[in-house]
Structure 1
Amino acid sequence: MADAAVPAFIQRLWRLPTTPPRRGRKSALTVESVVGTAVRLADNGGLDAATLPKVAEELDVTAMSLYRYVGSKHELLQLMMDAASEPRIPERTASGWREGLHLWAVDLWILYRSRPWLPRVPIYRAPSGPHQIAWLERGFTQLAATDLDWKEKLAALTLLSGYVRQSALLQRELEEGREPNQAQADSEREYGAALRLVVTSEEFPQTAAMLASQVLGNDSAGDDDPDQGFLEGLELVLDGLAAQIADPD
């Protein structure tokens, strides 16, 4: 495929060679250096630390000069997201589609937990970069032996990746909302105790029953392990997918 047929954004995502300007001194900037700097700033200070002006300041250039390499602030975020989403090598060979997708989801969870700014990047378009496509390919590979059609496979991976992303985002926000050094179980117990003062069984019978069950802040359930709730929800999602695969009608 000729480069001219590939949109400029895709060229930058895939680091395709571009025709250099015929005149003028060659710039020291590249897509790689701009995006790499932005990712480093985000790793160190969160997404707010990786704005175009801050990236420009780090590279000692003007913010306007960066647009030749990243197109727009939205595009910079998409370039950062793909660059920071290096595919993980599965820890073992899966014995079937369910174990394969379980490992896929856990590896994505680990990535999001290690780089908490990633799930905060707004999703402006479908996966387009090489790293994102590698994650998609790995997911498709796990579903290859099933009878799901392509629409169903896409729906399954969209649901699963969305669950992982939202879980990582929610977990991080809850952590940020707690008092310094406060354990998750303690925060949940405080929440439950406060709600029991105002939630009545007459008005909210199901919620009141949940609060009375003491499920919130139950240390024996591993509530201070951020992976525990994620893994329990993951099994529910996979249960639903298993039902669809077993009975597609």
Structure 2
Amino acid sequence: MTDLPDDLARLWRLQRGSRLGRPAGLDVERVVRTAVELADRDGLAGATLPKLAAELGVTPMSLYRHVGSKDELLTLMGDLGFGEPPEYAPPHDDWRALLRQWALAQWAVHRRRPWLAQLPIAGPPRGPHLLAWVDSGLRALRDTGADPGAKLGILTVVGGYVRHADLLAQQLSDGWLADGGAQPQHEQDYGRQMAILVDPNRFPDAAALFSSGLFESAPPSDDPTGDDFRFGLELILDGVAAGMPD
């Protein structure tokens, strides 16, 4: 394994070289788990190297013995933060139900750890946790007859949708909180304001939308963001189904 780059060895927790001079009890796993805990508590801005060092009671420079850089720390956090993928209860003959379960499990992780969607995308999955999610998604598609490239493309589209939906929900929520009030009130205000501004001669279909009363109705559940997510997910699964080999 000597030909593996150092960052990949750390991602997979492969021991390398001497541990002389390292603080007792401090290793990659502890550093990354502490960073994840800080991000869970204070957001991504709370998991900087100086704050992490203070939490661990070490100097910031000593952390570089365990994580090569700030960017590497984010990669390590992203892998560990996802945790384990879902276990599918038998039978395993309904790819759509399994892929839906896979996507909903990712959605739950994102909603629990909103900082995950804020991490930069630094390449394909390389760590054991994210690859476990890839393996789980491929298992859902195992008996579809789709070729490997198509399966990977499906997982990329579905996983990308989960990430984007979570990021959009966060940004909308941040906007609502900044203005004060709750989502239903903001939606009603939006609908009423647009109904005044949108000229039916210029935007006939948009005008029809805002005059339909859609934004005056109560949200269908206590989790309108989740309802929107599930609606979009079913549309994507419809598209996947249409592209499946006969």
- The alignment's TM-score, normalised by the length of structure 2, stands at 0.92
The secondary structure found in structure 2 opposite 1:242 is helix
1:163 equivalent among 161, 164, 189: 161
Aligned match of 1:61: 58
Aligned match of 1:173: 171
Comparing 215-224 with 38-47, which one deviates more in the overlay?
215-224
Report the alpha carbon displacement of residue 91 of structure 1 after superposing the two structures with TM. 6.3
2:113 equivalent among 112, 115, 127: 115
2:44 equivalent among 26, 42, 47: 47
Report the alpha carbon displacement of residue 105 of structure 1 after superposing the two structures with TM. 0.3
After superposition, give the CA deviation of every residue in 1:19-49 in whole Å (9 maximum; x if it has no partner). Answer: 115xx54432211111111111001000000
Aligned match of 1:182: 181
- Counterparts of 1:15-26 in structure 2 under 5 Å? 15-20=13-18, 24-26=20-22
**Unpaired runs of at least 5, structure 2:** none
Report the alpha carbon displacement of residue 205 of structure 1 after superposing the two structures with TM. 2.2
Report the alpha carbon displacement of residue 169 of structure 1 after superposing the two structures with TM. 1.3
- Number of equivalenced pairs: 243
- Counterparts of 1:125-204 in structure 2 under 5 Å? 125-179=123-177, 182-204=181-203
Q: Distance in 1 between matches of 2:140 and 2:196?
A: 48
Contact 2:111/2:166 (8 A) holds in 1: yes
Aligned match of 2:8: 10
Percent identity between the two aligned chains:
43
Gap change, CA 1:223 and 1:192, over 3 Å in 2: farther
Report the alpha carbon displacement of residue 88 of structure 1 after superposing the two structures with TM. 3.6
The secondary structure found in structure 1 opposite 2:65 is helix
- The alignment's TM-score, normalised by the length of structure 1, stands at 0.91
Q: Distance in 1 between matches of 2:110 and 2:68?
A: 25
Aligned match of 2:104: 106
Q: Distance in 2 between matches of 1:89 and 1:236?
A: 22
Report the alpha carbon displacement of residue 95 of structure 1 after superposing the two structures with TM. 4.2
Aligned match of 1:215: 214
Report the alpha carbon displacement of residue 183 of structure 1 after superposing the two structures with TM. 3.0
AA matched with 2:103: A
After superposition, give the CA deviation of every residue in 1:53-110 in whole Å (9 maximum; x if it has no partner). Answer: 1111212222222122111111101100111111143363354110000000000000
Contact 2:184/2:219 (8 A) holds in 1: no
| Aligned Cα root-mean-square deviation (Å) | 1.9
**Unpaired runs of at least 5, structure 1:** none
The secondary structure found in structure 1 opposite 2:235 is helix
The secondary structure found in structure 2 opposite 1:90 is coil
Aligned match of 1:70: 67
The secondary structure found in structure 2 opposite 1:222 is coil
AA matched with 2:23: S
Q: Distance in 2 between matches of 1:8 and 1:214?
A: 58
Contact 1:112/1:168 (8 A) holds in 2: yes
Report the alpha carbon displacement of residue 217 of structure 1 after superposing the two structures with TM. 4.8
Aligned match of 1:27: 23
Residue 228, structure 1, aligned to residue 224, structure 2 = no
